[in-house]
């Protein structure tokens, strides 16, 4: 059996996530405390005792979700003898989850991953603070959504596909007015639903260009080691071992090719997918993409046996 380990992206955060393993396992507490020290901020207090509005701020949500994911990775390894880097054949993550995947495969240290995501989150939220939006288009295929975005782009308004999440769910990203036009055109074209997302910017669009320099600066200061296992990256939807820094920079303005990522894994023999971290968004998407991959969630103390 070939396993794909996947790590969730922004939107999976929740107050209290990881609290059960924090209380039960010393190695989980060490992960939270290391991140607090790395970013000089009591992120663990926010995660366990804060409010949802503050936690969902991009500069908080990104390192917080990664922290919880990595706490589960450590508990699996040190308490249950399950080293996911040995068990899995491939790793992948949705947007910020790609950083969790890189951390889990030994490419980036936990402290460096936390620092990068704190800076990345801040840069992304500040890149286009009041002009951008994202929306989910439910029930139209990607070519139909692509046609809609091209039609609007012809009118000098920026909107593009930000996430190809599944055949049923495409996310568009861009200027608010252009996203609203795309939603209206999608409904006219027969979309089942269009949903405006509560995000702080038009992520994975060209409007994220101002976030490139801050991210590039911090990535250049961090040592990247060779991954233990290949990473199926958001940008290429193929297994990669090299050029990971440049792909992370490109990821800011490029679509998350999640459907293609899962199909690549399936075509390369993956029969089981383990989502490690809060929520179960990715396993839900995977079930929409293929029936040929078994899905498992590691998101609570009770779920900690693979």
- Tell me: do 184 and 271 sit in the same domain: no
Tell me the per-residue pLDDT of 60-97, one tens digit each, with 9 for 90 and over: 999 999 999 999 999 999 999 999 999 999 999 999 99
pLDDT at 306 over 60: no
Give φ, ψ of 300 to 5 degrees.
-160, 165
Assess whether 55 and 102 both reside in one domain: yes
Yes or no: say if 146 and 222 are a contact pair by the CB < 8 Å rule: no
Alpha helices in 156-243 (DSSP H): 176-188, 212-220
Whether residue 214 is found in the same domain as residue 123: yes
Residue-wise pLDDT tens digits, 174-204: 999 999 999 999 999 999 999 999 888 999 9
pLDDT of residue 262: 98
CA 8 to chain centre: 5
Is 33 one of the annotated active-site residues of the chain?
A: no
Among residues 199, 219, 244, the one where a domain terminates is 199
Residues 40 and 100 both lie in one domain: yes
Q: Is there a catalytic annotation at residue 85?
A: no
Residues 168 and 219 in one domain: no
Specify the CATH number for the domain of residue 94: 3.40.366.10
Residue in 125, 175, 204, 205 annotated catalytic: 204
**Closest among 255, 215, 247 to 231, alpha carbons compared:** 247
Distances (CA, A) of 203 to 48, 161, 165: 26, 10, 14
Shared domain check, 195 and 229: no
Residue 49, class by beta-carbon neighbours within 10 Å (0-12 exposed, 13-18 middle, 19+ buried)? exposed
Query: Quick one: 45 and 193 in the same domain?
Result: no
Indicate the length of the chain as a whole number.
306
Instruction: State whether 20 and 123 are in the same domain.
Output: yes
> Which helix or strand (DSSP H or E) is residue 247 part of?
helix 244-251
| pLDDT bucket at 305, cuts 50 / 70 / 90 | low
CB 210 within 8 A of CB 127: yes
Q: Would you call 12 exposed, middle or buried from its count of C-beta atoms within 10 A (0-12, 13-18, 19+)?
A: buried
Position 157 confidence tier, pLDDT thresholds 50, 70, 90: confident
Label residue 129 by pLDDT band (50, 70, 90). confident
Average pLDDT over residues 289-298: 97
Last residue of a domain, one of 179, 199, 219: 199
CATH number of 167's domain: 3.30.70.250
The verdict on 113 and 51 lying in the same domain is yes
Judgement on whether residues 89 and 212 belong to the same structural domain of the protein: yes
Spatial contact of 114 and 35, defined as CB atoms under 8 Å apart: yes
Q: Do residues 143 and 271 both lie within one domain? A: no
- Pick from 199, 228, 246: which residue ends a domain? 199
- Mark whether 82 and 143 lie in a shared domain: no
Q: Which domain holds residue 174?
A: 132-199
Catalytic residue from among 95, 173, 200, 254: 95
Number of domains in the chain: 2
């Amino acid at each position: 059996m070939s396993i794909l380990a996947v790590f969730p992206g922004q939107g999976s955060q929740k107050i209290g996530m990881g609290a059960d393993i924090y209380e039960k396992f010393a190695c989980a507490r060490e992960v939270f405390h290391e991140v607090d020290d790395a970013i000089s901020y009591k992120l663990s207090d926010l995660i366990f005792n804060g409010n949802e509005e503050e936690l969902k701020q991009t500069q908080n949500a990104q390192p917080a979700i990664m922290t919880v994911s990595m706490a589960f990775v450590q508990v699996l390894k040190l308490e249950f003898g399950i080293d996911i880097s040995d068990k899995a054949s491939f790793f992948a993550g949705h947007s910020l989850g790609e950083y969790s995947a890189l951390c889990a495969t030994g490419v980036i240290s936990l402290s460096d991953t936390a620092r990068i995501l704190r800076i990345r989150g801040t840069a992304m939220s500040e890149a286009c603070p009041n002009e951008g939006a994202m929306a989910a288009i439910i029930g139209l295929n990607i070519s139909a959504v692509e046609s809609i975005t091209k039609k609007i782009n012809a009118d000098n308004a920026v909107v593009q596909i930000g996430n190809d999440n599944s055949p049923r769910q495409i996310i568009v990203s861009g200027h608010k007015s252009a996203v609203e036009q795309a939603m209206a055109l999608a409904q006219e074209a027969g979309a089942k639903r269009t949903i405006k997302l509560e995000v702080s910017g038009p992520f994975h669009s060209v409007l994220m260009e101002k976030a490139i320099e801050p991210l590039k600066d911090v990535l250049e200061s961090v040592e990247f080691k060779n991954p233990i296992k290949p990473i199926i990256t958001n940008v290429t939807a193929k297994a990669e071992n090299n050029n990971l820094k440049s792909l992370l920079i490109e990821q800011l303005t490029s679509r998350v090719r999640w459907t293609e990522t899962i199909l690549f894994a399936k075509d390369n023999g993956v029969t089981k997918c383990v989502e490690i971290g809060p929520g179960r968004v990715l396993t839900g998407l995977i079930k929409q993409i293929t029936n040929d991959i078994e899905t498992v969630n590691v998101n609570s103390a009770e779920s900690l046996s693979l």
